[in-house]
Structures are given as C-alpha cells and as structure tokens.
C-alpha cells in the first residue's frame, strides 16, 4: 500500500462534503418529512450520499492516473456510478417516472458488463458453468437488482453505510490474504468515502443518504463483485455472502409482496429490518446487530470460501439459511397491520 496516505484524505473529503451538502439541503428545504411510510420521526435533510459519489469518483480518477487497476474496470464504475447518481439526484429533487429510472438502471448495468467483459464462468457446487451472452444478460439483471435493493434497504440510520463498510473491509481482507492485493484499492477507497459520510449518518442521523447515494453504492458494489469474479469464482460468492443481509431481506420481502399481489413499486416499510427497528423502538440496535452479523457470521464464511476452498455456492447456502430464518422471524414482507 504505497499510497496509503490517501485514505485519511478521502475520509476528510467525504466528511467535509457531507457537511456542505447538509447545509445545502437545509437551505433548499430538501427534507425527509416523516409520514406513515417512514421509519424516522424527525424531519431530516437528505441527499448526503452525493458526498460518497463525488469522493469515490475522484478516487477512481486517482487510481486510473496511477494505474492501480485496469482502466476498463475503472471506466465501468465511473460511467455506471455517475449515471445512477444523476438519476438518484434528480429523483431526490423531484420525481422521475419508474419506467425511466429503470431504463437508466439497465443502461448503467449494461455499461458495467460491457467494460468488465461480461460475466466469466462460475463454479457452482463443483461444476464450472459458462453461460456466455446469457450470463451477461443475467449479470445485468443482477446489477439492476443490487442497486434497487440497496435503495430499499437504506431505510434506517447508518444501516446502508455500515453494510458497505463491512462488505468492503471483508473482501479487502480476503484479497490481501489471497495475494490479490491489487483488488483491494477500490473497496478500501469506498470504505473511506462511506466512513466520512457515516459520521453524519450514524444513529441518530443528521442527514440521509438519498437515492443518489444508495443507488450509487448498489451499482458500485455490484460492479466490484463482477470485477472479483474475473479474479476467481470464490471472490464473487464472497461478495454475495458479505452482502447477504441486504440480499435476503430485500429479496424475501419482494417475493412475499409479489405473491400477495402488492404493487411492489409503491413505498412501504415491510422489510425485516424495518419491523425490527419498530420492535426495538430505535434504529441503533438493528444497525449494530446487522454489523455484528456481517463480522461474526458472514465474514468467517466468506473467508472460508476464499481461503479454505469451501465451495462458493455451498458457503452461500450456509450463510443465507439463518438470514432467511431471521427474515421470517421479523415478518419481512408481511402486511404492516399484522404487527
């Protein structure tokens, strides 16, 4: 880590930008006012995630200038991340029809897949599967789901921030111990940008991330997982494992609402983490609990996949089964009147 000095600089940059964005949001009355669908009770400025966007995009330019990672992969993240951030920023300031947002999401996903070279062959339960162009199409759908589920899961103070930090640190450890140190740069840079924002977003939050930030994190984390797949199938599964709380809660909730016939594009607060936060009466216990699950349960399994030759798909199943049980316990996707 020859250029380690950049890390504290990035944290301070994100911290400062978030403070400026908070003043801007207060001045322009860009405020999340609590309503029946909210998980918060105090009017709070939103849009602070733009600090993450700007800081990380600058980090990518820094990495490109020093050739710390392949240029094509950096272009993939810059283009897709910027597009998603612009769409989210516009939605934070007004409203964009769902069909146009979705079109932009698929364009961003296609950009990632093009510059990343598609989706490589993956090993499932000991079998190598190469789906070719169909795999690339599935990867695009996966990226769109990743950015949307991250938006869905950004509903209580500090949760989306700490999820990104835990996942990025976990994979950075795997990369380091596996001799893939060049892959550490982007996750560590993202960790620093989110850490600066987290100072303002930790419960009780003084500013929210907004769609620009949450969608940006979703597409970038998804892009990092596709990048990792080219280094080894095990690293792709490691990302899915580390992001397991978000993947399981969001997917379980969506499926349950689809089966019930709900309008899934409408705002709701029926995710498991939202029920949990209401049960405990505050956000902090849930945010801390999710972080502990990441570090004490998901990280060891992730390391088992990347370092101990545990089959990636098997590790994924082991990691997800308790998370599904937690989703059931906290009634993820159930009608709100049931609680």
Closest CA to 10 of 61, 47, 45, 46: 61
Alpha-carbon distance of 243 to 146, in angstroms, equals 10
Q: Angle at Cα 234 formed by Cα 229 and Cα 236, nearest 5°? A: 40
Alpha-carbon distance of 298 to 295, in angstroms, equals 6
- DSSP label at residue 328: H
Closest CA to 192 of 335, 66, 6, 46: 6
- What contacts 82, CB < 8 A, 6 or more positions away? 53, 57
Alpha-carbon distance of 250 to 148, in angstroms, equals 9
Distance between first and last Cα of the chain: 50
φ/ψ of 263, rounded to 5, equals -80, 100
Return the bridge partners of 129, or none.
122
Return the bridge partners of 32, or none.
44
Question: Tokens standing for 163?
Answer: 């999820």
Q: Which residue has the tokens 């190469």?
A: 130
Closest CA to 299 of 279, 284, 276, 319: 319
| 67 φ/ψ sector (left φ>0, alpha ψ -120 to 50, else beta) | left
- DSSP label at residue 42: S
Residues 59, 193 contacting (CB under 8 angstroms): yes
Write the burial class of residue 214 (CB in 10 Å: 0-12 exposed, 13-18 middle, 19+ buried). Answer: buried
294 is in an annotated binding site: no
Residues annotated in the binding site, as ranges?
A: 151, 211
Residues annotated in the binding site for Mg(2+), as ranges?
A: 151, 211
């Amino acid at each position: 880590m020859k250029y380690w000095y950049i890390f504290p600089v990035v944290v301070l940059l994100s911290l400062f930008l978030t403070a400026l964005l908070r003043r801007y949001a207060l001045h322009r009355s860009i405020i999340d006012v609590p309503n029946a669908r909210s998980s918060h009770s105090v009017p709070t400025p939103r849009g602070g995630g733009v600090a993450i966007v700007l800081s990380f995009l600058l980090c990518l330019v820094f990495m490109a200038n020093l050739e710390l990672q392949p240029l094509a992969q950096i272009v993939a993240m810059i283009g897709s991340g910027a597009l998603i951030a612009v769409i989210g920023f516009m939605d934070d300031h007004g409203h964009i029809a769902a069909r146009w947002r979705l079109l932009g999401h698929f364009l961003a996903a296609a950009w990632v897949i093009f510059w990343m070279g598609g989706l490589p062959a993956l090993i499932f339960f000991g079998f190598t599967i190469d789906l070719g162009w169909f795999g690339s199409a599935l990867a695009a759908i996966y990226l769109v789901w990743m950015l949307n589920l991250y938006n869905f899961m950004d509903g209580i103070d500090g949760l989306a921030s700490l999820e990104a930090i835990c996942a990025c640190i976990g994979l950075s450890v795997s990369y380091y111990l596996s001799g893939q140190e060049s892959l550490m740069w982007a996750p560590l840079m993202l960790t620093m940008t989110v850490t600066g924002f987290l100072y303002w977003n930790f419960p009780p939050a003084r500013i929210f991330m907004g769609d620009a930030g949450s969608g940006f994190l979703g597409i970038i984390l998804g892009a990092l997982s596709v990048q990792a797949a080219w280094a080894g199938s095990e690293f792709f599964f490691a990302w899915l494992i580390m992001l397991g709380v978000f993947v399981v809660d969001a997917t379980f909730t969506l499926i349950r609402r689809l089966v019930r016939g709900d309008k899934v594009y409408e705002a709701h607060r029926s995710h498991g983490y939202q029920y949990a936060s209401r049960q405990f009466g505050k956000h902090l216990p849930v945010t801390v609990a999710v972080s502990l699950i990441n570090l004490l349960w998901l990280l060891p399994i992730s390391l088992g996949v990347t370092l101990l030759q545990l089959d990636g798909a098997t590790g994924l199943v082991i990691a997800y089964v308790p998370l599904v049980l937690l989703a059931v316990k906290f009634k993820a996707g159930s009608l709100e009147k049931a609680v």
